[in-house]
Amino acid sequence: MPELNSEQILSHGVPAWRPEALDVIGMDGFTVHGPHGVLEQEKIDGHDFRVDCRLSVDTRSAGRDDALDRTVSYADVAAIIQDVIDSPSVDLIETLAARIAERIHAEHPMVRSCMVRISKPTAPIDMRFDTVFVQIQRDAPPVRAILAVGSNMGDRAAYLQLALQELERAHGIDLVAASATIETDPVGGVEQDSFLNAAIAVDTTLSPWQLLDLAQHIEQVAQRRRIVRWGPRTLDVDVITWGELQLNDPALTLPHPRAHERAFVLHPLADLEERLGTPITLPGRSRGVPDLLADAQDRDGIRPGIEVVGYPSAPAGGPAHSAPAPTEDG
């Protein structure tokens, strides 16, 4: 593959990435008796409420491996509906619908949007009707995710700049912060050039697998070729964390299975912590990033990075280097 200059790398002509539509899990006709209504008699006698739901979920992984823990259980949603309708009396079915949606999003973060419809067929109306209902649509709040980027082929600075550019163009992504860059010795036993590494924090409405799709799309835009495992690459984009989710999927393990032991990941994460003013956790790990970094075997292979457009040129005051960063011709 001929080596590209920075202008060729960044002016590639590939359209901005858009996620594929999520799948829908539907549940209709849950009927629960509850003491809700404006009139005092409704609070005494109650009504039978019918609840229908539509949940937007990325079911690809669950369907591929027949894995219940990677989707949403009907029984769990039914329990939420039962619990909300069984709760103390409220006047409005709007309130019930909102509480059901809030609980679904709070307890099932992989649900990225949900529709809740509550029907009240015995509403106290003095005329013939089939039912009255309220239908709401609620999107899940964005999730904080961390990506690690690295390059050791061609114009490394341009490839890291490309990662930021494509994240900024992508739908469902808000850039939050990037770490300063570091230069690192390669790990994995393959003889190759040094890497330029960094970490990026984003807020995203994407599912974990959609975020993986985006990461792989950015690698394809960078014309990455997967020939040798842990070998040289134009651009590596790894999903390190997606909220507090722990996931054991052959295609996507969260947090990244080697993040806790790799200084080239932990060092930029420590820098991000300083910039964000809040700890970055690797779900399932009791130790914080600075402690993990102190024990990382490849820590001695870290050196000052170079200046890259979009990335801070100096460390935030954590363990990163304090010397001015050199530049790299592109």
3-state secondary structure 62-81: HHHHCCHHHCCCHHHHHHHH
* Backbone angles phi and psi of 246, in degrees to 5: -110, 125
Q: Is 43 one of the annotated active-site residues of the chain?
A: no
**Residue 38 gets which letter from DSSP?**
S
In sequence order, what are the residues at sequence separation of 6 or more whose Cβ sits closer than 8 angstroms to the Cβ of residue 106? none
pLDDT of residue 293: 96
Which option is the CATH number for 142-304: 3.30.230.10, 3.30.70.560, 1.10.3720.10, 3.30.9.10? 3.30.70.560
Residue 166 near residue 224 (C-beta atoms within 8 A): no
pLDDT of residue 330: 40
pLDDT of residue 323: 37
Report the predicted TM-score, pTM, of the whole model to 2 decimal places.
0.90
pLDDT of residue 1: 59
- Domain 23-139 and domain 142-304, same fold? Reply is no
What number of other Cβ atoms are within 10 A of residue 279's Cβ? Answer: 10
Which residue carries 């404006």 as its tokens? 38
> Hey, where are the domains in the chain?
23-139, 142-304
Give the C-alpha separation, 315 to 320, whole Å.
5
Give the C-alpha separation, 279 to 11, whole Å.
36
Active-site residue, from 120, 233, 256, 262: 120
CATH number for the region 23-139 comes to 3.30.1130.10
What SS3 class is residue 170? coil
Q: Tell me the mean pLDDT per 10 residues along the chain, length 330.
A: 84 94 97 97 96 98 94 96 97 98 97 98 95 98 97 95 97 97 83 90 98 97 75 92 95 95 96 95 95 93 93 70 42
pLDDT of residue 317: 65
What number of other Cβ atoms are within 10 A of residue 214's Cβ? Answer: 25
What SS3 class is residue 110? coil
